[in-house]
Structures are given as C-alpha cells and as structure tokens.
Amino acid sequence: MKKTLIIAIIVGLCFTACTPSLETRQETFQRMDAEIKANAKAYTTLQEATSTIGHRLTGSTNGAKAETYTYEKFKEYGFSDVAYQPFEVESWSRGELAVTIDAELIPAVTLGHSPVLVSLEGEIADIGNGLEVDYQNNPEAVKDKIALIYISILPDSQEGLSNLHRSEKTALALKYGAKGVIIFNSVDNGVLLTGTASVTGAMLDIPAVCISKEVGFALKEKLKVASVTATIEMTNNSDLINARNVVATLKGTSLPDEIIVIGGHLDSWDLATGAIDNGIGSFAVLDIARAFMANQLKPKRTVKFVMFMGEEQGLFGSRHMVDLAVESSQIEQIKYMFNLDMSGNPKGINAGGKIDDQSFYDQLNDDLNAIDTAFSGGFSNRSGLHSDHQPFMLEGVPILGVQSNLDRSIYGCYHADCDDFNLVNEQHITNTARFGSMMLYALANAEKLPATKMDSETTKQFMIDNDLKEKLIIGGDWRWKED
C-alpha cells in the first residue's frame, strides 16, 4: 500500500511539474511579438516582389507572377490548404494618350476603363468639385463639353461637403451629359495619378484623364476669362482575362465552421510597383499568415488569408469571393472580414458594423498597448468604400481594420509613378504584421465575437450613418428600395 501511494504521489508531482501551464492571451501575444520582431518577412518579400515582378496589374503577366509568388510563399510557410480562386473579368490596360489644351500638349494619364479608342475635341467646363451640388444650379453646364473636376474638395468650398471617389465624379459628369472628363490632382510637383474612373468596373462611354494640380488650377483661372478647348486622343486595351485570388486556410479547432477572412489586395496599377498601394497591406497579410504558422497558433475559428486580385479595377476579386459565398450560403459562416489596404504602423482599431461588445476592443487595445506603447489604443466605428471589405460589409459582415500612423507624404504617390519600394518603412510594415497578428488571433480565438452579422435594415442604417448612401447609389450598389 505504501509503495502504491508513493508511486501515485511521484506521478502526481511529475504531472504537475512536467505539464506546461496554458498560456494567457498576453503571454501568447508576447511570444508572437518576439517571433515577428526576430523573423519578420513582410519588408523583404515586398522588396523581392517589387524588384523581380514590378507592378501587379490584374490580368497582366506581372499579375499572374504575383499570384504564383504569394501561393508559393503560403506553401513555404507551412500551409497545406492553399488554393487559387479564379475568376474571369473584362480587363483594361492603357495604350497611348495625348491631351492638348488650346493646342498645347499637356502631361496627362488615362484613367482606368476609358474607351478603347478616342478622338475628341471639345470646350472645357469647370464644374468645381464635381459633386451633385455643383450641377444643381446649372444642370446644363457640362452638356456636350469636357468637365474639369478637382479630385478633392477645393479650398474655398462651402463647409460640410463630403468628397466623392473619382469614379463617382465621372459617373455624375456622364449623368449630366459630359463627353469627357479631366480630373486634376491635389498633390504638388506635377504628380499624376491613375485609377479606375468606372464605378462598376465596366468600360466607360467617355474618356477620363488626370492632369496635375498646377495645370488644373491654372486652367481654372484661365476659364474665368476665356473659353478653352481641349483635345483627347487615346487608345486603350480591353479583353476578357483570367485572374486569381490566392487563399490559404487555417482550419479552426473548436469552431471550424466560423470563418474569419483577413485580406489585402495584391494587385496594383501599372505606373509603378504598387509598394504602398497595396504592397504594405497585402505583404503584411502574408507575414501575418507566416507568423501564425511559425508560432503554431491554433485558433478556435477558421482563418482564411486572402490575396485579392482585381481590387483596383472594381473590387473584382472580393466581389467574386462574396458571390461564391452567397451562392453556397457560406456567407453565414463568415463572421468577420479584416482588411488591410494601404494600412500601416497601427495605433488603434477601426471596427465597422454594429458593435455588441466594445469592451472586447477596449481590452484588446489595453493588451496591445502593454506590448508596445506605439500602439496607443484608439478606437473608431466607421467605414468607407472602394476596398475589398465593401462586398462583405454590404452582406452585413462585421469589418475590422487598423487606425494607421503612417507618414502622410507617402500618399502623394497614390496610384502614381512614384509608388515604389523606397517609400516603404521597414519598422512600419513590421508593426502592421505584429499588431495585426495579435488582433487577428484575439478575434479568431474569442470566447464570443464582439459583433455579429447585421441584418438588412441594420446594414442599411450603418451605410446611412457613415454617409455612404449617395456613393452606393451612384455606384449601383444601393440595394434597398426607398419608401
């Protein structure tokens, strides 16, 4: 009896001493943080991709190379479930462009989805900010003319105006009869930007171009005293192409049917390498995926790490993913969408949707601040459009993002020929991977999620509260009938 008792005591002591205690969430965060700081790959993989692939235009040879590159990285990082999610869309790429104003050749860039062939001459009409209010006093102002529009809000504008996307401004110009659009930039030193001018991703009936801030403001002054004529000569290319989202899946342990999607768009425009838009987001997602595998994290919920293609040309990849989820009813399983688009050096959390438990985010902010005071812990409950969260949000899926703390000067190269790797700050993209990994793990492993899927009326009200109704109507995405 004594021998048996002694053996039992020894076994008990060994079990107590030899079984590791379960980590607290903060201990897991500390372990994750140490690993990422030691082994982060976001900066180096983005550097490699921008130097060996270049731009990542959807449907291009470069775009396909980027899809393959990230697929192979997911495999290298240890994911067994990696898949391409192919889709077919009408592609667009630029050809030649010549813009003259009063017979003077002006530096300009074609905006996406302009027609394949254009030879246009017309009088220019200054329509200010290009908002609905700018047309109301004179609805005929741009009829059969070329509309001149500022990309932002003019300094002398009335208070309280909400800006529109370049595509929405183009749609309004088309609605009021313009036969062409000239948008001028808001960035100094002659920077030209591209980007789609189509709200749907379909080809436009009229050409749209971008000119510099300096030329635009000078043209506004000239139009105050004289009529001005412009010519637009352009060729572009359009055809059906195949592109692929890249999806790596980490199956959840106890709640595998509940899915958290984290994604960033891999594609970019073609004027530069898309290092900021959206290399710093998509390659941070790639490193967050690496960190989950390197730290052997096994969250309760399934996590899908997604490299979206086609975002720049009309959210094609994310719309496709959501359409498939709706068709299969898997949309009910998607509990959150975490989007990183030109996001970096996070200082806080943005959570879109109807929040049921803000204390979840308050505690998460505190925990991340305890890891590093660079994460100051802000919180907001807002959302915009024109990124890959939009199709999910319109289905009522709660959205997660970060409050960025990047140098504002880098955004001057948005969609421009200066969006290259030299703009990327290694510490900032590493911080995105660090804090983004912890945010994702907290969500995927939560006892109870802080927000649930919104029903149709709640989604509608969230859109209204975020001043998105007009934008969605212009873009054809407002799905609610008016009373």
Q: Are residues 195 and 319 in the same domain?
A: no
- For residue 311, give the nearest of 281, 346, 356 by alpha carbon: 281
Residue tagged 């180096």 (tokens): 44
Q: Are residues 103 and 129 in the same domain?
A: yes
Each residue's pLDDT tens digit, 290-309: 999 999 999 999 999 999 99
Phi, psi for residue 226 in degrees, rounded to 5:
-155, 155
Phi, psi for residue 263 in degrees, rounded to 5:
-150, 165
Q: Are residues 172 and 145 in the same domain?
A: yes
- The helix-helix angle for 426-444 and 42-52 (nearest 10°) equals 120
Residue 163 scores a pLDDT above 60: yes
Whole-number pLDDT of residue 100: 98
Q: Are residues 353 and 461 in the same domain?
A: yes
- Could you say which of 213, 236, 259 is where a domain stops? 236
Question: Token digits for 118?
Answer: 């254009």
Whole-number pLDDT of residue 5: 46
How far is it, in rounded angstroms, from Cα 226 to Cα 219?
Answer: 10
Predicted structure pTM score: 0.94
Residue tagged 């048996």 (tokens): 4
The H-or-E segment that residue 183 falls in is strand 180-184
- For residue 164, give the nearest of 483, 474, 392 by alpha carbon: 474
- Could you say which of 168, 202, 236 is where a domain stops? 236
Residue 132 Rama label (left phi>0; alpha psi -120 to 50; beta)? alpha
Whole-number pLDDT of residue 10: 46
Whole-number pLDDT of residue 483: 55
- The helix-helix angle for 280-294 and 426-444 (nearest 10°) equals 60
Mean pLDDT of the chain: 95
Whole-number pLDDT of residue 15: 41
Q: Are residues 210 and 354 in the same domain?
A: no
Give a yes or no: residue 160 inside a domain. Answer: yes
Task: Report CA-CA distances (Å) from 395 to 247, 259, 325.
Answer: 20, 15, 10
Residue 387 scores a pLDDT above 70: yes
CB count within 10 Å of CB 480 equals 15
- Percentage of the chain surpassing pLDDT 90? 94
Q: Are residues 206 and 304 in the same domain?
A: no
Q: Are residues 337 and 452 in the same domain?
A: yes
- Could you say which of 202, 236, 270 is where a domain stops? 236
414: number of CA atoms within 13 Å, CB side?
Answer: 17
Residue 343 scores a pLDDT above 90: yes
How far is it, in rounded angstroms, from Cα 319 to Cα 321?
Answer: 5
Question: Token digits for 266?
Answer: 């891999």
How far is it, in rounded angstroms, from Cα 198 to Cα 208?
Answer: 9
Each residue's pLDDT tens digit, 29-77: 999 999 999 999 999 999 999 999 999 999 999 999 999 999 999 999 9
Residue 98 scores a pLDDT above 90: yes
Q: Are residues 56 and 121 in the same domain?
A: no
Split into its structural domains, the chain has a count of 2
Each residue's pLDDT tens digit, 129-152: 999 999 998 999 999 999 999 999
The H-or-E segment that residue 182 falls in is strand 180-184
The amino acid at residue 356 is D
Q: Are residues 286 and 193 in the same domain?
A: no
Whole-number pLDDT of residue 407: 94
What is the residue range of 462's domain?
A: 25-81+251-474
Dmax (CA) of the chain: 110
The DSSP secondary structure of 9-47, one letter per residue, reads HHHHHHHHHHSPPPPPHHHHHHHHHHHHHHH--HHHHHH
Pairing of strands 348-352, 378-380: parallel
With contact defined as beta carbons under 8 Å apart, do 262 and 297 qualify? no
Residue 411 scores a pLDDT above 90: yes
How large is the average pLDDT for residues 432-436? 98
- The helix-helix angle for 280-294 and 25-39 (nearest 10°) equals 120
At residue 462, the 3 state secondary structure works out as helix
CATH code where residue 386 lies: 3.40.630.10
Q: How far does CA 481 lie from the centroid of its chain?
A: 28
Residue 5 or 165, more confident: 165
